[in-house]
Each structure stands twice: as C-alpha cells, then as structure tokens.
C-alpha cells in the first residue's frame, strides 16, 4: 500500500471513529438546520471527478482524475460553518523532465500529482 492510499484510509477511518453520539431527545434548533432543511453538522463524504493538467518546463500532460473528500462540519451561531477535511486526488501520472549534470549524474524535475 502506498503512502497516499494509507493516508486516505487513515483519514477515512478517523472520520468514521469520530462520529458524534446521536442520542438527543430534543428537536434541532435553527442553528442546526437551515430554513430549507439542510443541516451543516456532522460528517460528510464526497466523490470528485474531472480533468487535470500537469505542466512542467513547457511540457504538459492532460489526464482524467478522480478522488474523494471526507470532512466534519459544525456551526458557530446561525451563519458560520467550520470544520476540517481531508482529500485525495488521483490524476494519473505527472511529467518528468531530466537534466544531465555530467559525470553520470542527473536531476529530475517533476510536476507533482497533488
């Protein structure tokens, strides 16, 4: 398992373990549910798809990408939503540009996949 997959799995497991206890008998107040019925409290999981373009030293590489996001949201008062999130994006491979330094040495310049 590579480090990205491990990090995503750890963040996902942490998010599942950090769920709040839902044992209240009281009904939600105005700060927990918006007028249209949308709540901004609790854990959320999202899926992401799209195109991505890496550019490094004039070379580019267009790829289809996919990923996901897991987060936890809470409210402060009636209008402020705060929270934390972790995301993962898998766009395919990036670009590598190699510069020969002589003497059998070279240096790689890589456009990161983040």
Token pair belonging to 88: 């993962």
pLDDT digits (tens, 9 = 90+) for 67-89: 999 999 888 877 788 899 999 88
Residues 6+ apart with CB under 8 A from 22: none
The label of the residue with tokens 């700060």 reads 31
* % of the chain beyond a pLDDT of 90: 11
SS3 of 85-97: the string is EEEEEECCCCCEE
The values of phi and psi at residue 34, to 5°, are -70, 170
Q: What is the pLDDT of residue 110?
A: 60
Residue 114 has pLDDT above 50, yes or no: no
Residues 6+ apart with CB under 8 A from 82: 73, 74, 75, 76
pTM higher than 0.75 for the full model? no
């Amino acid at each position: 398992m590579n480090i990205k997959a491990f990090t995503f799995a750890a963040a996902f497991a942490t998010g599942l373990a950090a769920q709040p206890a839902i044992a209240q008998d009281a009904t939600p107040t105005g700060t927990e549910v918006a007028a249209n019925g949308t709540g901004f409290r609790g854990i959320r999981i999202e899926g992401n798809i799209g195109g991505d373009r890496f550019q490094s030293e004039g070379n580019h590489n267009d790829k289809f990408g996919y990923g996901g996001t897991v987060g936890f949201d809470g409210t402060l008062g009636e209008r402020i939503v705060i929270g934390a999130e972790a995301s993962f994006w898998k766009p395919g491979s990036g670009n590598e540009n190699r510069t020969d330094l002589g003497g059998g040495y070279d240096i790689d310049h890589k456009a990161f996949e983040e």
